[in-house]
Structure 1
Amino acid sequence: MRIDRTALADLARGAAFLGSGGGGDPYYGLLLAEAALERTGGFDLISPSDLADDALVAPCGWIGAPTVSVEKLPNGGETVAGLRRLEQIMGRRIDAVLPVEIGGGNGLAPFIAAAELGVPVVDCDGMGRAFPESQMVIFNVRGVSACPSVLTAACGSLAVIETDNNLTHERIARGLSVALGGIAHMVEYPLTGTQAKHQSIPGSVSAAIAIGAAIRTARTERRDPFEALATALRATGLYPHCLTLFDGKITDLERETRGGFSIGKVVIDGFGGDGQMEVLFQNENLVARLNSEVRAMVPDLITIMDRETADTITTERLKYGQRVKVIAASAPSMLREPAALALMGPGAFGFDPAFTPIETLNNIEGA
């Protein structure tokens, strides 16, 4: 599949939704990708099945606090510098790249690298959404090492990380990102073609494009973009359930940048006295409570959107007075497996470790 300017914009819109509030605002990443498209003529998106079994495939993305990324912009060279160093370490050329997470700006990160390196982007990722920590990927669940990984910053600094434990890798990388100004680019979890085929979440990039296209088309045709979103999510096969949890106005917001994360909560009052919803976040939205009753929890997606345009509002762009809808979608089935829930379920964030799907919490018929 050839990715053109329209598909890039659709990808940015869809990846913003799949970020569940995190992954970084895709706006600047879209500008960089569009510039790369103009220089190089476009990008190729390939299926994992198209990879040779011995191919070298490099997942990449940004690490740090999204609040910092709004003011500390990348220069566009960080991704390529990290991938070139990985090639030196591995002693061979990289055959393809993919987003370590499809959510937010990270869904666009590999396209910039693909254009400069002349390699395709693989239609898969490691999360099917966004998570705040680098060990919260299906690659880790399946036993793949994050190392060797390469962390680069806009100032030109570069660090190679080698550990025997993926959690230790996250702690080191997080500390480095803080030292480098709060955000950095990271190439991690180098894969073989066989691993990319069997140990990733397939179809997530094309799913994000389809989601963005559905919202764009609905707005153009003056149809309900939220209905179009729900239909598109179900059609992907990755996100079978979607519903509107709440409709209201933001009346309170607590947010701070701490330890390399954007942490806080947002309070939304319903229109017409329809109660109050509280959403807790750590880069990504983690738990949504309606009148103190949990209605959605990680790893299921919780996304706050403008109620008129269906534009996703990332956690760093939440503001008092915004009129919003809170949308929940079921996570890909791989993320609901017991081994995955141990790493990226509610217990990993200090909540009650028992995960309950949105279709159960909200009594979705036919679930």
Structure 2
Amino acid sequence: MIITEQMIDDIALGATVLGTGGGGDPYSGALMAKVAIATAKHPVRMIPLEDVQDDWMTVPSSMIGAPTVAVEKLNSKDQMLIAFEAMEKALGTEVAATFPIEVGGFNSLIPILVAAQKNIPVIDCDAMGRAFPEAQMVTFFLDGLPSAPNTLADERGNVVTLYPIDGIWSEKFARPITEQMGGSAAMCDYPMNGKNLKRSALPATLTQAMKIGEAIRLANDNNKSGTQAVLDIVGGHTIISGKIVDIQRETDGGFATGGVVIEKLAQFEDTGVDNVFVQFQNELLLAHKGTSRADMSQDNLLASTPDLISILDHETGKPITTEQLRYGQRIDLIAYPCDPKWRTDKGIEVAGPGYFGYTVEYQTIEQLKSALKR
């Protein structure tokens, strides 16, 4: 499948929904991807995961850092290529194909830049099915695949190559390096052959993002609900339709962290939820009844990582990233199920609420919605 400008716009929109508030700025990512396909010597292709050959060397292309930094610190068009070619040097071989490590607004499009410059395909898959804030929060880590080598590059041309023993140590090393690189860096990790990729990656996630983006676009063209168009694809439900009445946000330790308070709109159905507090670390990670962190409890829990939480514009259904949240915005807060791999014991250990220090236990959104009705 040849990647077109319309596909880029739809992927950017849908991937920002699946990015759960993180994954980078979709606008700048879409602009860079469009320039990349327009100036490429060959058409840039997206291929299904099953078309990958077992002996291919594959490497994801992504950015690491705080999304708030990337809004002001624009990425160099060659930054990702530098990290990618550093990976080829570390491996001692050429890479046959690339793919996004996560489905997020900017990070879903980064592989298109590399594919255009290297004349290789983009694989329709990722390792999260959403966006997560840390390097070990990938299906490859769940399946015991090695992270090393890692390569990081900044816009100045600085390159660092790491050989961590696993994804946890990759995060420990890469995050402070990223801070020294200005809070945002290009990164390649988890190089693997096609056989392992097909065993561990989540298939057709770029296609899903594209379908979500197209559904939002068509809903707005036909005066229909963009939020409902999203829910028709991803499942799940609307937790609350409301107005943002407070936002707390800071950039610390290489992450954008904080919380947002949502007050119910008068016309929203009576579910016993009048105010919701949503906590985030790059991505939206936990939603509970109340107006502050102090209200967090098991009884007040409404949704939590690894299930997906997204904030959509109430009028259009278009996603709003954590760095774009503002006082007074009218929004729909939705929750929908993660890939089954994240609901395993290992998945919850790696990316559940306990990992982030939240004092609640993971319950599926289906369980939480059922309890809310009683």
Bin for the TM-score computed over the shorter chain: over 0.9
| 5+ residue gaps, structure 1 | 234-240
User: Where does structure 1 differ by over 6 angstroms across 4 or more consecutive aligned residues?
Assistant: none
Find the counterpart in structure 1 of residue 115 from structure 2: 114
Contact 2:136/2:168 (<8 A) preserved: yes
Mapped to 2, the partners of 1:8 and 1:156 lie a distance apart of: 27
Find the counterpart in structure 2 of residue 303 from structure 1: 310
Mapped to 1, the partners of 2:259 and 2:231 lie a distance apart of: 25
Find the counterpart in structure 2 of residue 150 from structure 1: 151
Output aligned runs, 1:114-193, within 5 Å.
114-193=115-194
Contact 1:345/1:353 (<8 A) preserved: no
Mapped to 2, the partners of 1:19 and 1:203 lie a distance apart of: 15
- 1:43, CA displacement in angstroms? 2.1
- From 312, 334, 341, give the equivalent of 2:319: 312
Amino acid at match of 2:22: G
Find the counterpart in structure 2 of residue 33 from structure 1: 33
Amino acid at match of 1:247: S
Mapped to 1, the partners of 2:266 and 2:6 lie a distance apart of: 39
Mapped to 2, the partners of 1:220 and 1:271 lie a distance apart of: 25
Identity of aligned residues (%): 38
Find the counterpart in structure 2 of residue 3 from structure 1: 3
355-364 vs 125-134, greater mean Cα deviation? 355-364
Post-superposition Cα deviations, 1:256-310, rounded to whole Å, max 9, x if no partner, equal 1000001100001112396111000000011111244111000111111111111
Post-superposition Cα deviations, 1:217-250, rounded to whole Å, max 9, x if no partner, equal 11111111122111122xxxxxxx3211111111
Find the counterpart in structure 2 of residue 289 from structure 1: 288
- 1:334, CA displacement in angstroms? 1.3
- 1:165, CA displacement in angstroms? 2.8
Output aligned runs, 1:265-344, within 5 Å.
265-272=259-266, 275-291=274-290, 292=295, 293-344=300-351
- 1:99, CA displacement in angstroms? 0.4
SS where residue 198 of structure 1 aligns? helix
Mapped to 1, the partners of 2:62 and 2:359 lie a distance apart of: 29
Amino acid at match of 2:218: T
Contact 1:103/1:128 (<8 A) preserved: no
Find the counterpart in structure 2 of residue 104 from structure 1: 105
Mapped to 2, the partners of 1:10 and 1:157 lie a distance apart of: 33
Mapped to 2, the partners of 1:345 and 1:161 lie a distance apart of: 27
Find the counterpart in structure 1 of residue 364 from structure 2: 357
Mapped to 2, the partners of 1:270 and 1:92 lie a distance apart of: 55
- 1:342, CA displacement in angstroms? 0.8
- From 228, 236, 240, give the equivalent of 1:242: 236
Mapped to 2, the partners of 1:148 and 1:353 lie a distance apart of: 35
Contact 1:177/1:184 (<8 A) preserved: yes
5-14 vs 219-228, greater mean Cα deviation? 219-228
Find the counterpart in structure 2 of residue 214 from structure 1: 215
TM-score between the two structures when normalised by the length of structure 1: 0.95
Amino acid at match of 2:28: Y
Mapped to 2, the partners of 1:89 and 1:125 lie a distance apart of: 22
Contact 1:4/1:42 (<8 A) preserved: no
Say how many residue pairs are matched.
Answer: 358
Post-superposition Cα deviations, 1:94-138, rounded to whole Å, max 9, x if no partner, equal 100010101221111111111111000111101000000011111
SS where residue 107 of structure 2 aligns? helix
SS where residue 45 of structure 2 aligns? strand
